[in-house]
Structure 1
Amino acid sequence: MNKVGLFGGSFDPIHLGHLRIAEEVRGHLGLETVFFVPTAVQPLKRGAATIPADERLRMIRMSIRGNPYFRASDMEIKRGGISYSIDTVRAYARRFDDLYFLVGVDAFSEIDLWKDWTELFRYTNFAVMVRPNHRTADLMKILPKGVQPEVKRIDSSTYEHVWGKRLHLFEITQLDISSTNIRSLVRQGRSIRYLVPDSVERFIKEKGLYKG
């Protein structure tokens, strides 16, 4: 198993939009596995997760059960503290030859705020996801100026860093679902059916999550 994707986030909770993103990128790139990597503490949103990490991890595991291409990773949770992408990427690069880091275009546009961000291009390829009709059609326009000379455009959606890692721009199916909205619906006592997997909906109800 060599060609794998890393999909990080708080997943608070995981929802059908997350799963669809992973499925589309996996299909486009022919990934053998996509690892869902829930953060312990996000560096740019410290304390943002509203429920314990182990419960977020459990919801991921129940969401992907039966899918041979998806796996849950507890690496950042076990590590504890602030979750830095570079630490996770380095760890996975020691295990797999061909990594792809899944990231939305908005987060990618702030990559220069990440810890040791230039080193990411040494260890992983990127799958940068945009919504249909998004204004960003050229990654060069949002790459930090310091790295722009190191990246060349291969075709309309593919770029290559001088270290050999590639950046792929993907238009994904737009599902207007967000974890923030799901938490709000739960607080209001409204239905979240068809926004999350059935198993996650039951788990949230049974545990009384997101009520406060």
Structure 2
Amino acid sequence: MAALQRVPLVLLACGSFNPITNQHMRLFELARDHMQSTGQYRVVGGIVSPVSDGYGKPGLVAAEHRIAMAKLALQTSDWVNVDEWESRQPDWTETAVAMRYHHGRILKEYERSRSSTSSQSMPPQLKLLCGADFLSAFKIPGLWCDEHIEEVVGRFGLVCVSRGALQPERLVHESDALWRHRDNIFQVTEWVRNEISATEVRRALRRGYSVKYLVPDSVIEYVKRHDLYTEDSERGNQGKPLAPLAHKTQRPPESLDD
């Protein structure tokens, strides 16, 4: 009997990455191991998609710096890459829109590759990679529109990694919207607990404390060279509403923020 062909899968992580931390990168490795252990998937790529400056979050340094730090951090990865499309948008991009864009690009690349070879492999799927804290946003009434839930969770799917005391299974249980699509939510347990927070990294940097082993050395050197994460930078955007609120629309929050 022929072996079951595995579905090619790309993992997408959206967020501030302000700055990118070892925890952000670790999520990709955990997710890949889990998805491939199901026997259904073959993870063929990962995408880090930093949010644009238009999001307006306090303390958010310029996208050019966040992109540069992410690229430095991922130099040692042979399967996760940084994509600049979302960061170059003048306004904040909804998660559903970002997934739509990346899925379309992935399918175009697949069609080009298929036309040049005789391979009959299946087209890649795209799933959103997130921490368990992201799921808690679905419990907020009206924050997600039904169409975006159907698209992000129902059409694409989530790969959700436990984070600290937050457990994905509890959050899925408490949300009717997530429960409807529970078969398309892949829950990954982080047995070696890692609670590195970008917020705490920025705080340490402002106070002159070491962040070695929390972020890659290349990122630390970049921060020092460009004098990032100071008291002045943390005051940036203070008093301004976040883009979703400024536009008076309810849009989904970032996926991998801290």
In structure 1, which of residues 22, 36, 40 is the aligned counterpart of residue 48 of structure 2?
A: 36
1:90 corresponds to = 100
1:51 corresponds to = 61
- The Cα offsets for residues 65-118 of structure 1, whole Å up to 9 and x where unpaired, read as 131111001111122211210111111222243111011222112136235333
1:202 to 2:229 alignment? no
Check the 8 A contact 1:4/1:32 in 2, yes or no.
yes
Between 1 and 2, higher relative CO (CA 8 Å, sep ≥ 6) is seen in 2
2:18 corresponds to = 12
Q: C-alpha distance in 2, partners of 1:93/1:186?
A: 36
**Superposition pairs for residues 12-161 of structure 1, below 5 Å?**
12-30=18-36, 31-41=43-53, 46-94=56-104, 95-96=106-107, 97-111=124-138, 113-114=143-144, 116-131=148-163, 134=166, 136-143=168-175, 145-146=176-177, 148=179, 150-151=180-181, 159-160=182-183
Q: C-alpha distance in 2, partners of 1:21/1:59?
A: 17
Question: Relative to structure 2, which stretch is displaced further, 167-176 or 182-191?
Answer: 167-176
How many residues of Structure 1 are paired with residues of Structure 2 in the alignment? 196
Off by >2 Å, runs of 4+ in structure 1: 46-50, 114-119, 131-140, 145-148
1:163 corresponds to = none
Q: Secondary structure at the match of 1:200?
A: helix
Q: Secondary structure at the match of 1:190?
A: coil
Q: Secondary structure at the match of 2:76?
A: coil
RMSD: 2.3
1:174 to 2:193 alignment? yes
- The Cα offsets for residues 1-26 of structure 1, whole Å up to 9 and x where unpaired, read as 94100011100000111111111112
Q: TM-score, normalised by structure 2?
A: 0.69
Cα 1:181/1:91, change in 2 over 3 Å: same
Unaligned runs of 5+ in 2: 1-6, 37-42, 108-123, 232-258
Q: Secondary structure at the match of 1:71?
A: strand
Cα 1:184/1:133, change in 2 over 3 Å: closer
Cα 1:56/1:139, change in 2 over 3 Å: same
1:156 corresponds to = none
Q: How far 1:127 sits from its partner (Å)?
A: 0.5
Cα 1:2/1:49, change in 2 over 3 Å: farther
Cα 1:146/1:180, change in 2 over 3 Å: closer
Check the 8 A contact 2:47/2:81 in 1, yes or no.
yes
Q: C-alpha distance in 2, partners of 1:8/1:35?
A: 8
Instruction: Say which one has the larger Rg.
Output: 2
Check the 8 A contact 2:71/2:81 in 1, yes or no.
yes
Unaligned runs of 5+ in 1: 152-158, 161-165
Q: C-alpha distance in 2, partners of 1:25/1:42?
A: 29
2:249 corresponds to = none
